[in-house]
A and B are shown apart, each in its own frame.
Chain A
């Protein structure tokens, strides 16, 4: 538009002057504090090209006492050390800050510290800090924190500068070495962290591979190599920046355009599928720990007797086609699950495949229902949640509906609920059959069966509400008559083959249809990286730890 009047010309002149002033100020560097956008590596053992990682996982808190979620743990793992941790490619915890850890009595677990460990601020890391770490988690008991993971701990005490002793309630707890490598395990500096309240994110100090550089919560976090890190795994890249996204679509665009080097959790299956054919990027897949199940509420599921209900469960198990869901809905990002314990972990057996086969079997499903005297079609009220197990849940459950109704044996009423309501209604017997997912606390078989079968478990499916004499107990304890309790005790306290056998027997009982769970899918860890990034495949292991220190860029 032609600018003709005097006022408009004045406005234009002011704008031009402002632009010139902005440029001049920019050229002068009026408020510059430092000269570079990225640090020089601050003493890390290696430099490497700076790297940017994108994620949609959010941080709740970086103080380990206030966080028990994937987003916080991802960052904590880079900044803190643990007494024990699972090394890359390993399956069992190995000493990290500890020199050795073992049971000194059935209820005492003792760790000797490595000498000369320091936090990034120069403070020595001693047994006193370790005892402080665990004690304060229990004391603070933050609702977002991991205190519940330490339920078996009576106390943690430092007998000297290098020895810490954990007193446990249950003897020979084989899960304890794993638990000290979970969200409850990052070691904190007792001189920096308050004993009774959380520390602000930007003030945290650890002794891990990295220390915090600049910190803008859930926006942009800069990690710099920790010059005081004395562990075995030195970082290959000294400068790592973590960029947060809300929309997976923006994460995908940025990895595709090269604005970031790695996209780690969580791209949609459609985006991943599309990126498999994109140039300049590579999709990396590793074993995942996440499982998805269909759960039957024993009180409200269809069937007039226990035998009929069991027949319905078995008929459903014969009717579902996991491979079809994996291919059609998840484009291979989830694979069929026939076990309560994921592939790759000790104790994994494809018990459900052995019992029901890999493909649907309509004849056997029909036979189960006929033998139990059930009229078909059986009406199934199937519920799933829209916003907790990924954006494809609706497609997944519509596919399940199609499969079940395709047999002619079932009429499925499919309903969905937002997760907050879902999580409350699920345990209030509102849903006869429903979706459930499990993200493990640690990669051990116990974490995949214990929480589902132990007393007062979180599922509340009314499995075995009566004790051996038929007296209702009012709790959700496992049936002694199925022999699950002794097997659980065996896997919790024994080692080696005895433990593996116990896992196998538990799963055989689960697959009989006597119990309320039907595993459907197993998630895979998927990271997308630019072609010049190395180390991604090495960190995508069963531990579910994404180790920034393994990544480098050529």
Chain B
């Protein structure tokens, strides 16, 4: 009976949360659409000063931008529902195609960065809590502040100077060496996630090459998020260590190391799961600078190029897609949090 109630509340929570995603996405898409229109119409933004007014008027008409704003909005909304984000003005590429190809690159970078963030944040947070207010704790707190306060491009530059130029251990930029990149473009099925494509291609040296190219960008971006994780794990672990059940364990004579490891640590990680969802947006934001610094041709890199070229159709499509991705990730993280922590459902 108790199980039925628990699964019922989980189901209700998930359905409610899922239904909330729809208005959230709708509000985001609407905001993006109208904010872009406040700036001006995309044709004038892209071609103003380069084409005479009559030519701009013709192109606005052909693109349907002289129709009532609500008609345009409805068409755009319908397109987004069908996965059609429009076509870029400056290079005539379908935005859905750009998202598929470049989004895979960003996903790969974000994955590696998240791995780095977790490797840095969780064990070091645990060490900091374990040695509260002692030298390791002070040092790690300082490191955490530096990690998330230093601009990504600056960290990236330092990493490149040290590991690529000074030591020559790792490549300075790109997602793979030229020959590897050419080779894995022929792999089938092609995912555009290079580590998977390299594995599918079946050459171990190519896998190593892709991994080597990922190291510096992943560290640069991972540090940004990892610093936050470190502080979060430390604070939560400290709070958990003061909880009654932990005190009870200590009273039973359980050694402090085991108290931390077996009783406090796992519970202290629950908020990290929630924060991971929020960090998706930070990762995507940080990816813009990381991708620029390391020539990692992902969605952030592409967005920056379209912004420079004032291609607001492309910018609108990519920003909308990012908003949708963040909303969906947020939902998925809520699902995981609800499964891990029953208190979330109530």
Does residue A214 face the partner (Cβ distance < 8 Å to B)?
A: yes
| Chain A residues within 8 Å of B198, by CB | 26
Interface residue stretch chosen among A29-37, A128-136, A408-416, A470-478: A29-37
A209 within 8 A of B: no
Q: Which residue of B lies closest to A420 (CB)?
A: B310
State how many angstroms separate the Cβ of A405 from the closest Cβ of chain B: 32
Contact A26 B201 (CB under 8 A): yes
Quick one: given A26-B201, A29-B203, A253-B173, are A61 and B92 in contact (CB under 8 Å)?
Answer: yes
Distance in Å from the Cβ of B336 to the closest Cβ of chain A? 16
List 30 interface pairs A-B (beta carbons < 8 Å), by A numbering: A7-B266, A23-B204, A25-B200, A25-B202, A26-B203, A27-B202, A31-B189, A31-B200, A31-B202, A32-B187, A32-B202, A37-B180, A37-B183, A60-B91, A61-B92, A143-B50, A214-B182, A214-B186, A216-B101, A219-B297, A241-B178, A243-B174, A243-B178, A245-B173, A245-B295, A250-B174, A253-B165, A259-B171, A260-B178, A427-B49
Contacting B199 at CB < 8 Å: which of A7, A30, A198, A222? Answer: A30
Determine if B93 is an interface residue (Cβ-Cβ < 8 Å): yes
- Inter-chain CA distance A220–B178, complex, in Å, is 8
Q: Which of B21-56 contact A (CB under 8 A)?
A: 46-51, 55
From the candidates B49, B51, B90, B164, name the one contacting A420 in the complex (CB within 8 A). Answer: B49
Q: Within 8 Å CB of B55, what residues of A? A: 143
Q: Mark B251-273, 1 if CB is under 8 A from A, else 0.
A: 00000000001100010000000
Which residues of A come within 8 Å of B, CB atoms? Answer: 1, 4-5, 7, 22-23, 25-34, 36-38, 52, 58-61, 66, 143-144, 198, 200, 213-214, 216-220, 222, 241, 243, 245-247, 250, 253-254, 257, 259-260, 420, 423-424, 427
On chain A, the residues within 8 Å of B294 by CB distance are 250
- Residues on A with C-beta less than 8 A from B72 are none
Residues of B within 8 A of A143 (CB): 46-47, 50-51, 55, 59
CA distance A59 to B90 in the complex (A): 10
The residues of A that contact B185 with a CB separation of less than 8 Å are 214, 216, 220
B181 on interface, CB distance cutoff 8 Å:
yes
Q: Are A60 and B202 in contact (CB under 8 A)?
A: no
Task: Decide if B293 is an interface residue (CB 8 Å cutoff).
Answer: yes
A218–B297 Cα gap in the complex (Å)? 9
Q: Contact between A247 and B201 (Cβ–Cβ < 8 Å)?
A: no
Residue of A nearest to B46 (CB): A143
Interface hits, B244-299 → A, CB 8 Å:
261-262, 266, 292-295, 297
Contact status B262-A5, CB under 8 Å: yes
Distance in Å from the Cβ of A421 to the closest Cβ of chain B?
9
Would you call A4 and B261 a contact (CB within 8 A)? yes
CB B112 to nearest CB in A, in angstroms, measures 14
Q: In whole Å, how far is B262's beta carbon from the nearest beta carbon of chain A?
A: 7
**Residues in A neighbouring B312, C-beta threshold 8 A:** none
The answer on a CB contact under 8 Å between B123 and A38 is no
Separation of A214 and B180 alpha carbons in the complex (Å):
13
In the complex the two chains form, what is the Cα distance from A222 to B185 in whole Å? Answer: 11
**CB–CB A34/B202 < 8 A:** no
- Confirm or deny: B305 has a beta carbon within 8 angstroms of a beta carbon on chain A: yes
Chain A residue contacts of B47, Cβ below 8 A? 143
Most chain B beta-carbon contacts within 10 A, residue among A7, A32, A217: A32
Does residue B207 face the partner (Cβ distance < 8 Å to A)? yes
The residue from B46, B91, B165, B172 contacting A61, defined by CB atoms under 8 A apart? B91
Determine the residue in chain A with the shortest Cβ distance to B50.
A143
Are A424 and B183 touching (Cβ within 8 A)?
Answer: no
Say yes or no: B207 contacts A22, CB within 8 Å: yes
Which residues of the partner chain B approach A38 to less than 8 Å between Cβ atoms? 179, 182
Q: Collect the chain B residues with CB atoms within 8 Å of residue A1's CB.
A: 123
- Is there contact, CB below 8 Å, between B92 and A198? yes
Once the chains bind, are B91 and A28 in contact (CB under 8 Å)?
no
Q: Is the CB of B201 within 8 A of A241?
A: no
What's the nearest-Cβ distance from chain A to residue B285, in Å? 18
- Is B85 on the interface with A (CB-CB < 8 A)? no
B229 at the binding interface (Cβ < 8 Å) = no
The answer to whether B200 touches A144, judged by C-beta atoms less than 8 angstroms apart, is no
What CA separation (Å) do A247 and B305 show in the bound complex? 12
**Given the complex of chains A and B, what is the CA–CA distance between A336 and B290 in angstroms?**
39
Q: Return A546 CB to nearest CB of chain B, in Å.
A: 19
Q: Kindly name the residue among A219, A253, A257 whose own CB sees the greatest number of chain B CB atoms within 10 A.
A: A219
Task: Known A-B contacts: A29-B201, A37-B180, A200-B92. Give 7 more (CB < 8 A).
Answer: A25-B200, A26-B198, A31-B189, A58-B305, A143-B51, A214-B182, A246-B292
Q: Which residues of B contact A241 (CB under 8 A)?
A: 178, 182
Judge whether B182 and A220 touch: CB under 8 Å.
yes
Contact status A31-B187, CB under 8 Å: yes
Name the residue on A nearest B261 (C-beta): A5
**Is the beta-carbon distance between B178 and A32 smaller than 8 angstroms?**
no
Query: In the assembled complex, how far is the CB of residue A476 from the closest CB belonging to chain B, in whole angstroms?
Result: 15
State the CA gap A427–B50 with chains docked (Å): 11
| Bound Cα distance A516, B140 (Å) | 63
Query: Chain A residues near B187 (CB, 8 Å)?
Result: 31-33
Closest Cβ neighbor of B211 among chain A residues: A22
Complex-state Cα separation, A144 to B50, whole angstroms: 9
Complex: how many Å from CA A38 to CA B177? 13
Which residues from A are CB-within-8-Å of B305? 58, 218, 246
> Which residues of the other chain, A, contact B262 by a CB distance below 8 angstroms?
5
Most buried by A among B91, B93, B292: B91
Residues of A within 8 A of B179 (CB): 37-38
Q: How far is the CA of A247 from the CA of B266 in the complex (A)?
A: 43
Q: Which one of B173, B182, B189 lies within 8 Å of A250 (CB-CB)?
A: B173
Known contacts A1-B123, A246-B305; decide if A26 and B180 are in contact (CB<8 Å).
no
User: Which of A31, A36, A61 gathers most chain B CB within 10 Å?
Assistant: A31
The smallest beta-carbon distance between B175 and chain A, in angstroms, is 9
**For residue B43, which residue of chain A has the nearest CB?**
A143
In the complex, which residue of chain A has the Cβ closest to the Cβ of B204?
Answer: A26
* Cβ contacts under 8 Å, B200 to chain A: 25, 29-32
B188 touches A31 (CB 8 A): yes
CA A259 – CA B186 in complex, angstroms?
21
| Closest Cβ–Cβ distance, residue A542 to chain B (whole Å) | 27
- For the complex of A and B, the 5 pairs showing the least CB-CB separation, nearest first, are A29-B202, A31-B200, A37-B183, A250-B173, A37-B179
Give A519 Cβ to nearest chain B Cβ, in Å.
Answer: 24
Contact A253 B50 (CB under 8 A): no
A220 touches B181 (CB 8 A): yes
Contacts of B92 in A (CB 8 A): 61, 66, 198, 200
Cα distance A217–B91 when bound, in Å? 10
Nearest-neighbour CB distance to chain B for A237, whole angstroms, equals 14
Docked-complex contact B199 and A22, CB < 8 angstroms: yes
* Contact (Cβ within 8 A) B49 A27: no
Interface flags, B191-217, vs A, CB<8A=1, else 0: 000010111111110110000000000
- B345: shortest Cβ distance to chain A, in Å? 24
Mark contacts of B119-137 with chain A using CB atoms, 8 A cut-off: 1 yes-contact digit, 0 otherwise.
0000100000000000000
Once bound together, how far apart are the Cα atoms of A27 and B204, in whole Å? 6
Residues of A within 8 A of B173 (CB): 245, 247, 250, 253-254
